[in-house]
Amino acid sequence: MAPPEWTPSSWRKLPVKQQAPYPDEKALKQAHDKLKTLPGLVSVREIEDLKTQLADVAAGRRFLLQGGDCAERFQDCQPELIEKKLKIMIQMSLVLVWGARMPTVRVARMAGQFAKPRSSDTEMLDGEKVASFRGENINGYEKEQRTPDPNRLLEGYFHSAATLNYGRVLVSSGLADIHDAGKWDLDFVQTSSRREEYQHMVSEITDSLHFVHMCGVGADSPHLKTVDLFVSHEGLELGYEETMTREVDGKFYNVGTDFLWIGDRTRQLDHAHIEYFRGIENPIGVKVGPSMAVEDLVPLIRKLWKDPEANPGKITLITRYGCGKVADLLPKHIAAVKAAGLKVIWSCDPCHGNTIVAENGYKTRPFDRIFGELEQTLEIHREAGSALGGVHFELTGENVTECIGGPQGIDEGDLPLRYTSYCDPRLNYSQSMEVAFLLAKNLSVHHDLAPLNEKSKMRKRSMEISDPSKRLRAVDK
């Protein structure tokens, strides 16, 4: 049942942040009214299936991989680009299966990840003060498109529907065929000392497939050709989320996506976003950054999670501190949650807290800082008797040049070559695969699948990356 005095619109009675200032309220209402009549993009059964799998994550039986664009663009709703997004998620997940020795839950930042929070309502563009770009379902990137347009909410819905539909076609028609694991492109480590090691991992994955065949599971088994496709986005524009909220058997589901998360800027306990999120049945993520006071975390979880015993896996805490802050902040948050007896899913977003501005003005993220935060997070959870249950990346399957470092050695001078993000920098295909292999190797250490000397190497690497003398200046986003 819905919480007392809760409705899909009860958030409107409370203070709200990060909502677009629409100049035409009548047009906005017309767009909302139309959206309320449209079919859901996902089914209640699909949401419940994800909840079941996330309960397994909370119990340590699965590992969560969440990733995709910082902010989707309408122009990227193309077959080739959608295929690349899914391919990188599937390949990364198989590598993590090898490392974690458990199934993965794949949740794409896709089919609705348009809106973005901003630090100011205005920004400078070509020397002129204009409305901030809030994502393509709100306004356009070009100067003349900056006025929030309600019709873009409808465009966002239909682009989400097209993306999701094509993604499901790809998954059902063999894109997820595990047999393709032996055909992976490892050219990005052609000159790396890790190439042989990565090839060994891929060989082990394919050897496992051969073992399954010998056990009587045929090559045509649907279990080896398809995967579950779940989607997610930040629940930011509450008017849109309200239109996607439907009542089924006395419960309310947001059928615009499977999984929503609350951003670091909109999680005030007495504000509108928490009010909206507390009433929906979907699994929920909460971004936890340096601004999250220890004493506020447990009350926030309890307000969103009314019945933890009956609804395991409901809450995923997505930590995003930054490589230089995680060692100080994460242990305190873990201790608070453990003391409250709450069994949440802990996921690490090592991207958002490690954003810098390069000397040439491009926003970027150093690969070493990204993996450094991830590595430290794993070790902190182990030392605290907790467990990292998942990871959350901003990434793309394209060969962009937005994050520096990684196997290709991208430096600041390379950033202008293929920088296509409208918002934050993403890991490219090579960097995404590199971080998956490195993470799998680290997870395998935990399962005693790697030599003991690897443990000391990894701890040494974490210490080096967290050394202030080796860190770059972070920029508060």
Burial class of residue 255 (count of CB atoms within 10 Å of its CB; 0-12, 13-18, 19+)? buried
Residue 13 is assigned to a ligand binding site: no
Nearest to 421 by CA among 20, 116, 108: 116
Three-state DSSP class for 118?
coil
Residue 363 is assigned to a ligand binding site: no
Look-up: residue for tokens 């340096």? 290
Q: Which tokens is 369 given?
A: 């800082």
Residue 320 is assigned to a ligand binding site: yes
Is the separation of the CB atoms in 335 and 365 below 8 Å? no
Nearest to 425 by CA among 434, 438, 416: 416
Residue 70 is assigned to a ligand binding site: yes
Residue 109 is assigned to a ligand binding site: yes
Three-state DSSP class for 231?
strand
Nearest to 139 by CA among 22, 26, 36: 22
Residue 392 is assigned to a ligand binding site: no
**Amino acid present at 56:** D
Three-state DSSP class for 341?
coil
Contact residues for 94 (Cβ-Cβ < 8 A; gap 6+):
104, 178, 181, 205
Three-state DSSP class for 222?
helix
Binding-site sequence positions for Mn(2+):
70, 352, 394, 424
Binding residues, as ranges, are: 70, 109, 287, 320, 352, 394, 424
Binding-site residues for phosphoenolpyruvate? 109, 287, 320
